[in-house]
Structure 1
Amino acid sequence: MKYFCLIFVCLFKNLVCLDYDGWLNIKLEHNINCKNEKFCSRGNISLKSIRAGTAIISQISFTKDHIDELKEIADLDGLYSVRSLVTSADSKETEFLSSVKAKLFLENRLSDVISSWILPNGEVIAVTFQVNNLSQNQSLQYHKGEYPINSNFYVRHVDLAPVPDTASYIQKLDREREAREKGDLKDNRSFLAKYWMYIVPIAIFVMISGVTNPEPAPQASR
């Protein structure tokens, strides 16, 4: 089954978009009905252009064997796992693993959300797989002996946090130290800013002295 899914290039208006554009391919594998293998093919997600915002998703449909094994895992409160193998024009294959409760995947009628987290330079740092909890259990969709997987795919952009310019700050401190040693550093502060630590104690002392030694009241004339 193939269908198109719109990718939201920027989640928020103030979020930095990609500085990079290129193709991206995500090979999906899962851990059920794989015979002797730990993981086997579930499908593929491909993007000719990340900036263009269109992904082609091709996935298998589950058979009765898939559902039976998924139910067995759910009865044991086990996990349904998806392995994502990511390749792009500028990077080697990178592997990401994500899991959910098999029971939740069944209750959600094999509907899931797959997100690819990408830095502004186009590097994929994570691929997550999750399901949305439904308010009530509903029956699985069934068509011609198969159970289709319903996936929504999104590109999530990660904005890098600002990095403090430590080197420039250290250089500034070194220049100020050298200037003080040479006597070239002038103090442009005001008189109060320079000597407040001397003025404040004197002012407090004068105030206290005025309170403890009040002037005698003048005597009334006779």
Structure 2
Amino acid sequence: MRSQIIALLTILGVLNYAACIDYDGWVNIKIEHSLNCGRDKYCSRGNISLKSIRAGSTSLIEQIPFTRQHIAELQNIAEVNGFYTIRTIVTTADNSEGTEFFSSVKADAFIEKGLADIINVWVLPNGAVIAVSFQVTNTTQPLNKDAKSHQVYSNFFLRYVELAPIPDTASYVQKLEREREAREKGDVKDNRSFLAKYWMYIVPIAIFVMISGATNPEPAGAAGGR
């Protein structure tokens, strides 16, 4: 039931933003981490395959269960207030070589949340993946540390990035050029008010009058007769 609700929310979120995608194609995301890897720095944690960026449908999500060795290494990292890091390698139809992304969370938080996380993939309208972020969930579920294996619960979301509007510099330059030509021909009428036109002359005069009044006060009234 939980997975069905998550899938429904994912589909609804995709429907809100998929219209901004100009490109469609498959995406494969290889997930790696640095737990129980032997001599290697990173080793496989799982894989996510998408048939369509536009639809946002995940055809396959595979993740290996954590063994007791994984949990022991994760606890050692948590004891020194360290971070649990994942590396994702994203390949697409246009980028077969793959792009690497790194993301980290506090190891103790990952344990506290019962190995439940959220993986967000950020996509531009042209279909390019620009970031992969990894975070723990908000819900707390206890981790049975005596179990032989532990399932990783991941929620996957596509996040579509909308580009900000680009200023029309060419039109603005053309407008300035037309205004300059009109001023040279004398076709531009100045519709500003009197104060807007001549404030640079009025302000100095007003300041001069104020200063003159302050430095030359009127003489005090004559004293009463004796």
TM over 0.5: yes
Unpaired runs of 5+ residues, structure 1, are 202-222
Q: Distance in 2 between matches of 1:119 and 1:14?
A: 11
CA contact (8 A) 1:118 1:126 kept: yes
Offset at 1:176? 1.3
Partner of 2:112: 107
Partner of 2:81: 77
Q: Distance in 2 between matches of 1:182 and 1:109?
A: 76
Q: Distance in 2 between matches of 1:197 and 1:98?
A: 57
Unpaired runs of 5+ residues, structure 2, are 203-226
Counterparts of 1:206-217 in structure 2 under 5 Å? none
**Identical-residue share of aligned pairs (%):** 51
Among candidates 182, 186, 189, match of residue 187 of structure 1? 189
Offset at 1:40? 0.8
Deviations 1:8-37 (A, max 9, x none): 474685885312111011110001111111
From the two aligned structures, give the one with the greater helix fraction.
2
Partner of 1:24: 27
CA contact (8 A) 2:18 2:54 kept: no
Q: Distance in 2 between matches of 1:198 and 1:171?
A: 26
CA contact (8 A) 2:14 2:55 kept: no
The code of the aligned residue for 2:184 comes to E
User: Of the two structures, which has the highest relative contact order with CA contacts closer than 8 Å and spacing of 6 or more?
Assistant: 1
The code of the aligned residue for 1:154 comes to F
Q: Identify if the C-alpha distance between structure 1 residues 178 and 60 changes in structure 2 by more than 3 Å, giving closer, same or farther.
A: same
Offset at 1:151? 0.4
Q: Identify if the C-alpha distance between structure 1 residues 99 and 171 changes in structure 2 by more than 3 Å, giving closer, same or farther.
A: same
Count of aligned pairs:
194
CA contact (8 A) 1:27 1:45 kept: yes
Q: CA RMSD in A?
A: 2.9
Normalising by structure 1, what TM-score? 0.76
Partner of 2:159: 156
Q: Distance in 2 between matches of 1:198 and 1:133?
A: 62
Normalising by structure 2, what TM-score? 0.75
